Amino acid sequence: MNQQYPSILLEKAVGEFSKLPGIGRKTAMRLVLHLLRQDTATVEAFGNSIITLKREVKYCKVCHNISDTETCQICANPQRDASTVCVVENIRDVMAVEATQQYRGLYHVLGGVISPMDGVGPSDLQIESLVQRVAEGGIKEVILALSTTMEGDTTNFYIYRKLDKLGVKLSVIARGISVGDELEYADEVTLGRSIVNRTLFTGTV
């Protein structure tokens, strides 16, 4: 169905919004029309926040978490336990684990999981920098908190093989979360409990 737009500007804006995940053309049109009804300053603030975000956002040079500074607030906090590192897939997972208030260690954001189907290999992820962090010493325990999918398991095992010889304790969060669930969808109590009740990772899935 080829809808006729009364304005190319409108069509362009709707096109951009509909590229976002979960936004169809109908919703895109509703959002664009909503913005059109706002005053100019509001819409400019909206547009500028996206442009500034993309231009100026930084990623922590230690853990790859999103940050406004070279080193993120978590890595820079002397109150955090720097001997424990929790490995997660993405920034939303950091936020989910932080929300549990059950974890005082640091993080390592991989940027995804190994997924040959999607063309994601180990070198596309922040695995080598994790190995380096551990090799530098000071880290006693690495907690694997990846999703309980086949890709998550594959990534766990790959990291295990890389870290095994470095003499660091490797644990995996308790499977209170049902298989296939992603971390960010687990409720805070369940996720908090699964971190507290983590078990030693032995390399067997």
Minimum distance, C-beta of residue 77 to Zn ion, in the bound complex (Å): 9
Give 65 or 126: the residue with its C-beta nearer to Zn ion: 65
For the bound state, the minimum distance from the C-beta of residue 192 to Zn ion, rounded and expressed in Å, comes to 21
> What string marks each residue from 50 to 89 as x (binds Zn ion by CB under 5 A) or -?
----------x-xx-x------x--x--------------
Least Cα distance to 158 among 127, 129, 185 occurs for: 127
CA distance 106 to 78: 11
**Pure H helices in 101-149:** 128-135
**Nearest Cα residue to 118 out of 145, 149, 144:** 149
Q: How far is the CB of 163 from Zn ion (least distance, A)?
A: 19
* Inter-residue contact 83 to 105 (CB < 8 Å): yes
**Of the two residues 13 and 60, which places its CB atom closer to Zn ion in the complex?**
60
Minimum separation from the CB atom of position 109 to Zn ion (A): 8
- The binding track of 110-129 with respect to Zn ion, each residue x by CB under 5 A or -, is --------------------
- Residue of 45, 39, 36, 41 whose CA lies nearest to 13: 36
Q: Which is nearer to Zn ion, 31 or 91 (CB)?
A: 91
State how far the Cα of 10 lies from the Cα of 138, in Å rounded to an integer: 55
Binding-residue total with Zn ion (CB under 5 A)? 6
CA distance 144 to 174: 10
Measured from the CB of residue 62, what is the shortest distance to Zn ion in angstroms?
4
Binding site for Zn ion (CB under 5 A): 60, 62-63, 65, 72, 75
